[in-house]
């Protein structure tokens, strides 16, 4: 028995075929009418096919399926263990990281013991702004904090989920350079980021306004520190653009920009032009607000860092913290060549900059923060071993809030409602529920960091040195991270024992709250 094809389907196919044959833009369609569309369909769903069908557990980028599974399970407080041993070929993988355990590791408290802490609080070993005598210096209560991601790049619901999660986990959330929004004000403490566009603290002509910054800080006690963003790892030297299509009246009002054109972040600041004027800018903000003030940057040419360290040593002016963002860091959108080829990866960039300061004896005067795919226990521990005092997590926190790595961030069509301003898509993200998952992820990351540090025989992740980390090459050879990258980033020559830097020990078995001055 045969079934006739409806005439309208035949007509549609003929119409599509004629269009494909007559059009000149796409050769595939001219040569293969109708069926050529399958090529574009498969290309459009390629990431999804690779994500769920083709790629193995450790093949995907930027985050493998195994890494995402760990974040998802941790955020939902599910079993985040993996069965049957490692899937990694440890001896044949170049630059494979091994954490060297101690023969007599430290015990980890368990449920029911007096020292057990369900939040696994780990305070920073340093006091932010203490050396410079900032009026509002404080000790960060968590060594894991949330990286700068702006409202505008993220939906309001996503920003709110991150802030509520930060409050639950007692950590800091960085606002990103897009200004301070109502979505940031749900109980979490903040680092306010100032970018090249000075959004939220600018004059109508786009220049920086100290008066507006002071008004913002005075009105929001949750702002605990200020970060001046020089560049970010994903696109250093390129500036940034929030397309007009993603610009809403709310975003434009918060940023202080017109609604009828793209919102542009220039590639450089106008308030200063070199390391000397940068320090003047830092000190003026610190004096006016009383807050610790630091900088964030990717690492390229080192001349700037040598100038900055020299001036910090000799002039009495200094930054209170330095955030180094690796070239592997994330962004909603970047030119491919900038994402792939500009800016040193974290291990190389951080170790070089940290050594510049350590050689002048400045390491203990300021807090060093690492970011760039450090949101997993092993990568975070390497960051601490290189000399970081704090770790910032960005995309990993978004994974915990529901990101599925669809790679649609630049299209305004994020299916998880995170990197979109679509009211329909963002309504699917429940900030209250996702905040619990963000907090669970951060607490679990602290838990496993503590477990790794104790396995190495030390009570705090920042006491792990580069000699605790072994790097395996693909020729059955090994070197310590100290030998590969020149020590813990403290300027200690390979083969020397690190000097006993004066660092205050912090008990980490109990939750530590911020002590407001």
SS3 of 202-244: ECCCCCECHHHHHHHHHHCCCEEEEEEECCCCCCCCCCEEECH
Give the per-residue pLDDT at 87: 73
C-alpha to C-alpha distance for 479 and 456, rounded to whole angstroms: 17
Cα distance between residue 62 and residue 73, in whole Å: 18
Letter string b/e over residues 382-415, b meaning 16 or more CB atoms within 10 A of that residue's CB? bbbbbbbbbbbbbbbbbbbbbbbbbebbeeeebe
Q: Please, is 276 exposed, middle or buried when counting C-beta atoms within 10 Å of its C-beta (0-12, 13-18, 19+)? A: middle
Comparing CA positions, the residue from 202, 146, 206, 210 lying closest to residue 176 is: 146
pLDDT at 23: 81
Specify whether the CB–CB gap between 204 and 257 falls below 8 A: no
Q: At which residue do the structure tokens 């070993």 appear?
A: 125
Give the up-direction half-sphere exposure of residue 381: CA atoms within 13 A in the CB hemisphere.
32
The rounded distance, in Å, linking the Cα atoms of 191 and 145 is 10
Total residue length of the chain: 517
Least Cα distance to 181 among 215, 146, 205, 216 occurs for 216
Counting as low any pLDDT under 50, the low residues of the chain are 489-517
> 398, 441, 391: which is closest to 80 by C-alpha?
441
Q: pLDDT value at position 49?
A: 65
Contact of 508 with 121, CB cutoff 8 Å = yes
Q: Residue 113 is encoded by which pair of tokens?
A: 């013991």
Q: 96-99 and 469-472 as β-strands: parallel, antiparallel, unpaired? A: antiparallel
Output 204-211 pairs: Cβ under 8 A, ≥24 positions apart.
Answer: 204/256, 206/270, 207/270, 207/271, 208/270, 208/271, 210/284, 210/285, 210/288
pTM of the model: 0.85
* Packing angle, helices 431-455 and 65-75, rounded to 10: 110
In sequence order, which residues have a C-beta less than 8 Å from that of residue 192 and are 6 or more positions away? 175, 180, 216, 217, 223, 225, 226, 227
Coil, helix or strand at residue 314:
helix
> CA 122, CA 511: separation in Å to the nearest integer?
8
pLDDT at 46: 65
Structure tokens, 278? 């940068």
d(CA 156, CA 196): 22
Return the pLDDT at 504: 41
CB-count exposure of residue 282 (10 Å: 0-12, 13-18, 19+):
buried
Of the chain, the end-to-end C-alpha distance in Å amounts to 86
Which residue has tokens 């566009």?
197
Q: What is the pLDDT of residue 39?
A: 67
Radius of gyration of the chain (CA): 25
Per the CB < 8 A criterion, the answer to whether 460 and 452 are in contact is no
Structure tokens at 129: 């702004």
């Amino acid at each position: 028995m045969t079934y006739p094809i409806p005439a309208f389907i035949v007509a549609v196919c003929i119409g599509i075929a004629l269009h494909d044959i007559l059009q000149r833009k796409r050769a595939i369609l001219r040569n293969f009418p109708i069926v050529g569309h399958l090529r574009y369909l498969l290309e459009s769903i390629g990431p999804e096919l690779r994500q769920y069908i083709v790629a193995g557990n450790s093949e995907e980028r930027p985050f493998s399926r195994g890494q995402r599974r760990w974040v998802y399970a941790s955020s939902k407080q599910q079993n985040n263990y993996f069965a049957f041993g490692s899937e990694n070929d440890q001896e044949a993988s170049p630059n494979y990281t091994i954490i060297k355990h101690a023969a007599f590791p430290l015990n980890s408290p368990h449920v029911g013991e007096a020292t057990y802490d369900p939040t696994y609080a780990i305070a920073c070993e340093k006091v932010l702004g203490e050396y410079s005598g900032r009026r509002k210096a404080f000790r960060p209560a968590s060594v894991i904090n949330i990286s700068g991601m702006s409202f505008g790049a993220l939906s309001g619901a996503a920003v709110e989920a991150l802030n509520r999660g930060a409050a639950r986990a007692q950590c800091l959330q960085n606002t990103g350079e897009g200004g301070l929004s109502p979505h940031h004000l749900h109980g979490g403490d903040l680092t306010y980021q100032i970018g090249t566009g000075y959004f939220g603290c600018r004059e109508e002509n786009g220049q920086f306004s100290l008066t507006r910054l002071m008004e913002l800080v005075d009105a929001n006690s949750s702002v605990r520190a200020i970060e001046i963003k020089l560049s970010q790892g994903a696109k250093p030297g390129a500036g940034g653009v929030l397309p007009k299509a993603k610009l809403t009246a709310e975003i434009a009002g918060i940023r202080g920009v017109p609604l009828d054109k793209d919102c542009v972040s220039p590639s450089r600041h106008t308030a200063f032009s070199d390391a000397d004027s940068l320090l003047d800018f830092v000190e003026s903000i610190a004096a006016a607000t009383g807050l610790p003030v630091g900088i964030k940057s990717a690492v390229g040419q080192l001349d700037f860092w040598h100038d900055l360290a020299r001036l910090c040593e000799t002039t009495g002016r200094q930054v209170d913290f330095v955030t180094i963002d690796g070239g592997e860091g994330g962004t909603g959108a970047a030119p491919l060549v900038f994402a792939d080829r500009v800016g040193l990866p974290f291990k190389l960039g951080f170790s070089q900059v940290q050594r510049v300061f350590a050689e002048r004896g400045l390491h203990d005067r300021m807090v060093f923060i690492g970011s760039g795919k450090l949101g997993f226990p092993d990568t975070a521990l390497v960051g601490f071993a290189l000399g970081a005092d704090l770790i910032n997590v960005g995309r990993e926190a978004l994974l915990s809030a529901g990101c599925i790595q669809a790679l649609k961030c630049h299209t305004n069509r994020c299916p998880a409602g995170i990197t979109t301003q679509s009211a329909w898509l963002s309504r699917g993200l429940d900030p209250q529920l996702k905040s619990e998952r963000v907090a669970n992820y951060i607490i679990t990351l602290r838990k496993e960091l503590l477990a790794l540090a104790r396995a190495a025989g030390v009570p705090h992740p920042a006491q792990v040195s580069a000699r605790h980390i072994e790097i395996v090459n693909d020729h059955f050879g090994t070197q310590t991270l100290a030998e590969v990258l020149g020590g813990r980033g403290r300027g200690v020559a390979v083969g020397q024992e690190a000097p006993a830097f004066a660092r205050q020990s912090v008990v980490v078995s109990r939750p530590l709250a911020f002590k407001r001055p």
